[in-house]
Homo-oligomer: A and B are copies of this chain.
Amino acid sequence: MSADFRLKNPEDYDKWYGWKHTNPQLLKEAAYGLPELHREEIKGARLVACPGCMATATILPLAPAIKAGFVEENHIVADVKIGSSGGGSKPTIASHHPERFGGVRPYKVATHRHVAEVEQELNALSSEPVTVAFTPHAVNMVRGILSTVHTFTKTPLTSKDLWKALRSTYEGEPFIRFVKYQKGPYQLPDPKVTLGTNFCDVGFELDPRTNRLLLFGAIDNMVKGASGQGVQCLNIMMGIDEETALKSAGFHPM
């Protein structure tokens, strides 16, 4: 579950984590534990490195658009909103309820470590080099992540193009839900409705006026962003039903 084997390039540990990897020979062997992109590798792997929570919520909505070459690879912005459980279990002044409650706090706005794995995974899908500008914000909830990914299209796109790209990447995926409705309070992904589940809700919106394609990924950081994804990978490694122990539909309202 840690970051120890997520990155393929040993130098990325120096750069993003500030330490030298002591077993670089294992990095090539390790599978990146995002089943939607690496199921076959995970099947045969001895070592699976589960992705970071914000990386999961960002890679999954972006992957189909990157694969399809839809967007400018050097103008990608992931604006992430995350609950307090993402900060770990150690109390600090930043996590103190009177300080943490009710605000919107940008942090590590240009230097978050999850960038390394996000770019690694997207570059593997792209013919052009991909850069992701990545900015987390702490918001007033305990669980949940929404990654709002702002991209600019190379050429005009239609909804049909997007649906096609999403379906071709995620058709049959047990833990991807497409969320795009015309009415009601949950028209696009909102982490609230993923709480307690292993789903990643993926949605999009086209904004032709600004040549923008908006992509959204919502997860429960403690499930699809952590242990749930770990269990999903384990199920795959063991050759058992991938949904074993993960069939929760979530609670609503929560």
Contacts and interface: CB of A to CB of B under 8 A. Distances in A.
A187 interface: yes
A104 to B, nearest CB: 4
Given A97-B142, A140-B139, A210-B132, A110 B251 contact: no
| Most central of A85, A87, A96, A190 by chain B CB within 10 Å | A96
A95 B95 CA distance: 8
A141 B140 contact: yes
Contacts of A140: 101-102, 139-141
A93 B91 CA distance: 6
Interface size class for chain A?
35 or more
A79 interface: yes
Nearest to A105: B190
A15 to B, nearest CB: 10
A215 to B, nearest CB: 11
A103 B206 contact: no
B110 A192 contact: no
